[in-house]
Amino acid sequence: MSSRQNLFCPEKLSYVQGHRPRVDCILCSAYRNEPGVENLIVWQSELFFVTLNLYPYNPGHLMIVPVRHTCTIEDFTEAEILSSFAIQRMAFAVLRQMYNPKGFNLGYNLGHCSGASIDHVHLHVVPRYQRELGFMDVLNGSRIIVEDPIRTRERMAEAFLRESEESLHSLKE
């Protein structure tokens, strides 16, 4: 994904070069809602939170993040493993409602040789769309993502709330 980062997200380049907010961990800071750190969290539980990506590859690009600061999935507890999959399923439902994607890419970048720019483990969920290539052609190799992140965050938080109430409901039945 690194070539795409450079192609589509020029701001991200300065981020990986070190011009990031001076905090120990950007995800822990976002979770604690610290000043100076963009908070794009759309849902949270005791174990995980879900946040929009500040530099999305596509509209609806999310990250599923354990609340606990850990740099590996190898020490996930049983509860975290189960919760992680339940949240992935919820994220698919939310993204289908909001964006009607035709596919998804999911992935972790783990460790310094993987392209990870943040140590704190996070699972990327990137919706894929049929017309992506058409847009690229039209815009001559660059992509503009037309979305107001604040409005997107509100809409998505509402969708996650509805979806999590529904999944709790269906568990009780």
Binding positions for Zn ion, rule: CB under 5 A: 25, 27-28, 69, 120
Residue nearest to Zn ion (CB): 25
Question: What's the min distance (Å) between Cβ of 32 and Zn ion?
Answer: 10
User: Considering only CA atoms, which of 12, 33, 39, 20 is closest in space to residue 115?
Assistant: 12
What are the residue numbers of the active site?
122
Q: What is the DSSP string of 52-83?
A: E-SS-SSTT-EEEEESS--S-STT--HHHHHH
Question: What's the min distance (Å) between Cβ of 152 and Zn ion?
Answer: 23
71/145 with CB nearer Zn ion: 71
54/145 with CB nearer Zn ion: 54
Question: What's the min distance (Å) between Cβ of 67 and Zn ion?
Answer: 9
